[in-house]
Amino acid sequence: MVDLSAIFSDNPYFSAGFGLLGVGAGLAVLRQGARRGADLLQRQLLVSMEVPSNDKSYQWVLGWLSRRGAATIQAAESGQGMSWMHRRISRAVLPRHLAVQTSYKQHDNGSVSTNFTMVPGQGKHIFYYQGTFIQVERQRNTKMIDIQSAAPFETVTLTTLSRDRAVFSQILAEARTNALSQNEGRTVLYTSFGPEWRPFGLPRKRRLLQSVILDRNVSESIVTDVQDFIANGKWYDDRGIPYRRGYLLYGPPGSGKTSFIQALAGSLGYNICILNLSERGLTDDRLNHLLTVAPERSLLLLEDVDAAFTRERQQSEHAAYQQSMVTFSGLLNALDGVASSDERIIFMTTNHIERLDPALIRPGRVDVKVYLGNATPYQIRRMFTRFYGDEHAMLADAFVQALAGHSVSTAQLQGHFIAHKKAPQCAIDQVADLF
């Protein structure tokens, strides 16, 4: 009988092939084991936090990275305020692939200031923060688009050792504090962009409530009513009353309607969401959605509402010139329908209250109506002394007398005082310019 095992064992070609096969299989097992071991080790030792671009904290984290990256680069290059070891570490972890963020601002005098900030670009970077090494990876998916912003979807992933995971909470808290501090003492104006609200321009310096001079006790009554509403949310809830309040400021152009709302928002520490009802493409559903997702601590402002909904428009809603697709019934439902949101303060302005349908300004939709007309003697005198000082009270009386029998708006008066900012007597002598 032939011994096959002996034949194959004596065959050098077979022995070599079998040996190579065994070696290859062994290496494959080792690679797979090493890969699984590395994955297991990574899961046990590392922890990651992913921040997608559609999350609110995304911009906060990018801002934090911007300031952190700039500070790291400056400190590493100068070596100031750092120990020898920290300088070596900082220089070792400096990002090699940078992106630029440019801030551009044009000042009132026409000059322009530009600031360039270098931040980590796409890819992986290492930061050293509070004794912890953190890997930051920015990834952009060009095949995915953020529906709200129409920009490529991006994520920022922070990775560190599992024992140092508490640093993520510190970073988020610091990033939030830094972001909010940028708007401290300022009013942010939001406008609608698709289904979301976006800041419009740079935050404005808060306007003082005293800078908008309304007729006697008008400003105080509105402020008191708004403050009372804000402070009594539980009272509304206990009685099952929708927690929302509507205000209508009406009167001729230039009477200070929008200026007062801006000053009121500043005094309350609120922001302003401006919604144009005549905006092209605005629909009933989108209007309702925007009123529901408005940023917290914001006043919703519908300016010149008479231009969007009047009796004339209701009679010709099919007119080709109309750009907005919002219906009158859609607006009414958004203001106080079943799907309308609570915890909301809405201000509407109009130059022609007589053009508004009574259904729009009935109680529940508009709770407070305030007329802001042309300047009264009280307003004229207050504005004169505010511009030129109380020491010119006698001249203020003369200016009021010079305007007796004439109607002027507060906007006209402000322009007149600016033209004669350093010459109160000249403002009186040239009062005829206002007629």
Given a contact cutoff of 8 angstroms between Cβ atoms, the answer to whether 268 and 230 are in contact is yes
Which of 11-25, 205-219, 364-378 has the least mean pLDDT?
Answer: 11-25
Nearest to 213 by CA among 249, 247, 251, 255: 255
CATH topology of domain 199-371: Rossmann fold (3.40.50)
**Alpha-carbon span 147 to 142, nearest angstrom:** 13
pLDDT digits (tens, 9 = 90+) for 140-153: 776 665 555 555 67
Which of 15-24, 224-233, 246-255 has the least mean pLDDT?
Answer: 15-24
pLDDT digits (tens, 9 = 90+) for 67-93: 775 555 444 445 555 554 455 544 444
**Alpha-carbon span 16 to 14, nearest angstrom:** 5
pLDDT digits (tens, 9 = 90+) for 280-312: 888 888 888 898 888 888 999 998 888 876 544
Which of 209-223, 296-310, 350-364, 374-388 has the least mean pLDDT?
Answer: 296-310
Given a contact cutoff of 8 angstroms between Cβ atoms, the answer to whether 103 and 95 are in contact is no
Which residues are paired to 193 by β-bridges? Answer: 196
Res. 55: pLDDT tops 50: yes
| Residue 48: predicted pLDDT | 85
Max Cα distance, the chain (Å): 137
The ranges of the chain annotated as CATH 3.40.50.300 are: 199-371
| Residue 175: predicted pLDDT | 86
Angle at alpha carbon of residue 200, lines to 196 and 206, rounded to 5°: 120
What does the buried/exposed string (b/e) look like for 246-273 if buried means 16 or more CB atoms within 10 Å of the residue's CB?
A: bbbbbbeebbbbbbbbbbbbbbbebbbb
| Residue 353: predicted pLDDT | 92
